[in-house]
Amino acid sequence: MEKFALIVTEKPEAARRIAQALDYGGTPQKFEDRGVPYFLALRDRKLIVVPALGHLYTVVHQRGGRNYYPVFCFKWAPRHLVERNSKKIHTWIDVISKLADGADEFIDASDCDIEGSLIGYCVLKYACKDKENTAKRMRFSTLTKMELEAAYEERLPQLDFGLIEAGKTRHEIDWLYGINLSRALTLSSKGWSGKYATLSTGRVQGPTLKFLVDLEKEIQCFISKPYWSIKVEVELKGSIFKMEYERKTIIKRTEADVIVAACNRRSGEITNVDVRKFRQQPPFPFDLGTLQAEAYSLFRYTPRQTLNIAQHLYLNALISYPRTSSQKLPPAINYKAIIKALSEDHNFKDLTLELLKKKNLKPREGKKVDPAHPAVYPTGNLPKKQLSRQEKRIFDLVVRRFMAVFGDPAIKQSMKVSMEIN
Candidate residues 1, 32, 65, 231; the one interacting with DNA per rule CB under 7 A = 65
Contact between 67 and DNA by CB under 7 A: the answer reads yes
Residue 56 CA: distances (Å) to CA of 31, 53, 85, 312: 21, 7, 13, 22
Candidate residues 66, 279, 359, 384; the one interacting with DNA per rule CB under 7 A = 66
Contact between 182 and DNA by CB under 7 A: the answer reads yes
Residue 419 CA: distances (Å) to CA of 123, 230, 248, 259, 395: 73, 14, 15, 14, 47
Residue 151 CA: distances (Å) to CA of 139, 264, 364: 5, 74, 28
Helix, strand, coil abundance in the chain, percent, nearest 5: 40, 20, 40
Please list, residue by residue across 361-370, b when 16 or more beta carbons sit within 10 angstroms of its beta carbon and e when fewer do: eebbbbebeb
Smallest distance from DNA to CB 65, Å: 6
Contact between 392 and DNA by CB under 7 A: the answer reads no
Neighbouring-strand partners of residue 406 = none
**Alpha carbon distance, N-terminus to C-terminus of the chain:** 100
Smallest distance from DNA to CB 365, Å: 23
Smallest distance from DNA to CB 120, Å: 11
Specify the residue, 12 or 303, whose C-beta has the smaller distance to DNA. 12
Contact between 12 and DNA by CB under 7 A: the answer reads yes
Are 223 and 238 in contact by the 8 Å Cβ rule? The answer is no
Q: Name which of residues 189 to 208 contact DNA (CB under 7 A).
A: 198, 200-206
Q: Which stretch binds DNA (CB under 7 A): 9-17, 23-31, 356-364, 388-396?
A: 9-17
Alpha-carbon span 224 to 218, nearest angstrom = 12
Candidate residues 5, 19, 23, 58; the one interacting with DNA per rule CB under 7 A = 58
Alpha-carbon span 10 to 304, nearest angstrom = 20
Smallest distance from DNA to CB 389, Å: 22
Q: Name which of residues 120 to 179 contact DNA (CB under 7 A).
A: 170-171, 174-175, 177-179
Among 152, 314, 321, 335, the active-site one is 321
Contact between 61 and DNA by CB under 7 A: the answer reads yes
Smallest distance from DNA to CB 421, Å: 58
Is residue 321 part of the annotated active site? The answer reads yes
Alpha-carbon span 174 to 182, nearest angstrom = 12
Please list the active-site residues: 321
Contact residues for DNA, defined by CB under 7 A: 10-13, 53-55, 58-61, 64-67, 79, 82-83, 111, 113-116, 119, 170-171, 174-175, 177-179, 182-183, 186, 198, 200-206, 323
